[in-house]
Structure 1
Amino acid sequence: MTAQSARPERSGPETASVMDVSPFKPSLIKAVFRDVTPMHVSRSAAGAAASVTRTVLTEIIDGARRAAAAEARKKLIPGDLLSAIDRNVELEVGGKWYDHSPTFQGLTGVLYGAEGVIVPSRKRSRSRKPSAVVGAHRFEAGVKKLLRSQRATAVRAMVRDLDGIASVFLTDLARDAAMIVREGGGKRFGSVTPVMSGEPAPPPFPKDSLPALSARRGDRRTIGRDDILAATTMQLFGGNLRQQALTDATQGWFLTT
């Protein structure tokens, strides 16, 4: 799969409606966190997690829409999801879902992992911890709402893939946030910025755009908004998508349904 150096700017009426409100309710977000940790999740943390998940899915849908448009189709199919990821490796999220989805079975080649190393292509897993996959159906209503807000339609298999990716991504986000709280902070993970050959690298993050991970404030029993932002930097390795998710979560976490 190839990388895309820069994410196209989102524009138009369909984008405005996405940014106005999150399709994922705080009650759903907290339910996912309860599956992972007994820690309390603050309202701002739940809002930030919902915002980050919304941003990630919005970018995936946008990429899939572009792939469908190239074939003069309006309804999204699973192949459009593969095309979107192939065009922009930043959209490679929720990887555990790939082991359970027919869309991703049988792929060959290698992918870049979050640490910048080459990892084998996806193979079917026999994981005994399928909680995120089992709970994926909880995201169907939100996924459909997000599709409508982007004026997109999708076949059932595509909706199921978006369900699964959202569930796995949010579950992983919750686990990382809980780890950050338990350890009183976290180490700054090295980032990998995908760039096409011959193209300039995107600008680095402003120093004040990310929360400090080395020393967090607050008690060890509550996941706060900054813990979600820190977990986001661990889950999203692409510079453009990560920065967009952090910006959306910081500026609009309270705009949840």
Structure 2
Amino acid sequence: MTAQPARPERGGPKTASVMDVSPFKPSLVKAVFRDVTSMHVSRSAAWAAASVTRTVLTEIIDGAKRAAAEEARKKLIPGDLLSAIDRNVELEVGDKWYDHSPTFQGLTGVLYDAEGVIAPSRKRSRSRKPSAVVGAHRFEAGVKKLLRSQGATAVPAMVRDLDGIASVFLTDLARDAALVVREGGVKRFGTATLAISGEPAPPPFLQDSLRALSARRGDGRTIGRDDILAATTIQLFGGNLRQRALTEARKATQNTSAD
């Protein structure tokens, strides 16, 4: 008998660089989008959204790692997340999660010990369940995979916060992408970028890129890759993180189909 040729795997991009771009699967991304809009989400849009989410979470983890290193710790705790955001305002994303997390209520009294457990001497002023955020906890496996890829470990409370931030950020990204489709671009929001003290101004090519995304082409029923890029410019106000997210998303989707 003659050997049958190997059948190509189905369900996503075939290049290794694209497959490795994010620990967040396109099927999960599309599930989040379905919670927000009935519009069709193209394959390249799903990969772009996954890539942007990965870039944001990676930057947060890097900032938390630096905070932990200053205290000679390897395991990340929620306090490291607060430190990362305090030092880099660009990382303040997914802020709807803050109302549901003891970490951010910690700004008014919660204290975590070295294992990420709420110290008994401090109590929350009110109790809120993280499950109140639609889609929370969908990203736990992806967060853990991302932490491993960055050579980091984290206490459960820190994993929960990264999970929640990823969920809220992607939900907000989906809403903005749907708005971009409905409005025909981001003209309503403009293309100005925030100048952060002590950091260089965004390079000209980023400003040109933002102008190019200010109007869209295509039908009004499908969220495409460029709609995700446009939504990214709305969600990420800092020039540096925004630039990295856009660059990585374009790289991640250069070999994907638009279906």
Same fold (TM over 0.5): yes
Q: In the alignment, which residue of structure 1 is the partner of 2:238? A: 238
Secondary structure of 2:212's partner? coil
Q: What do the CA deviations read for 1:119-176 (whole angstroms, capped 9, x no partner)?
A: xxxx9899xxx98824111100000000010110000000000000000000000000
Verify the 8 A CA contact 2:64 2:81 in the aligned structure 1. yes
Q: What code does the residue aligned with 2:164 have?
A: G
Letter in 2 for 1:99: D
Closer/same/farther in 2, CA of residues 192 and 255 from structure 1, 3 Å limit: same
CA deviations over 1:89-133 (Å, ceiling 9, x no partner): 11010000001100001537xxxxxxxxxxxxxx9899xxx9882
**Can you give the 5+ residue segments of structure 2 that lack an aligned partner in the other structure?**
1-16, 109-124
The structure-2 alpha-carbon separation of the partners of 1:213 and 1:131, relative to structure 1 and needing over 3 Å to count, comes to farther
Cα separation, partners in 2 of 1:190 and 1:125, compared to 1, 3 Å: farther
Cα deviation, residue 211, structure 1: 5.9
Tell me the equivalent position of 1:204.
203
SS in 2 for 1:219: coil
Structure 1 residue 212, shift from structure 2 partner: 2.4
Is 2:60–2:91's contact at 8 Å kept on the other side of the alignment?
yes
**CA deviations over 1:173-209 (Å, ceiling 9, x no partner):** 000000010111222253212113xxx6334341443
Looking at structure 2, the residues matched to 42 and 18 of structure 1 have their Cα atoms a distance apart, in angstroms, of 15
Distance 1:73 1:162, change over 3 A: same
Q: Is the 8 A contact 2:95 2:165 kept in 1?
A: yes
Percent of pairs with identical residues = 83
Quick one: distance in 1 between partners of 2:231 and 2:144? 26
Conservation of the 8 A alpha-carbon contact between 2:214 and 2:230: no
Larger CA deviation: 30-39 vs 183-192:
183-192
Stretches of structure 1 that go unaligned for 5 or more consecutive residues are: 1-16, 109-122
- Aligned partner of 2:60 in structure 1 is 60
User: In the comparison of the two structures, how many residue pairs are matched?
Assistant: 220
Alpha-carbon distance, 1:254 to partner: 6.3
Asked whether the equivalents of residues 18 and 252 of structure 2 are also in contact (C-alpha less than 8 Å), the reply is no
Matches within 5 A, 1:58-97: 58-97=58-97
Aligned twin of 1:4: none
TM-score normalised to structure 2 length: 0.78
Q: Contact 1:211–1:229 at 8 Å: present in 2 too?
A: no
The residue aligned with 1:147 is 147
Matched-pair contact (CA < 8 Å) for 1:22–1:51: yes
Larger of the two Rg values belongs to structure: 2
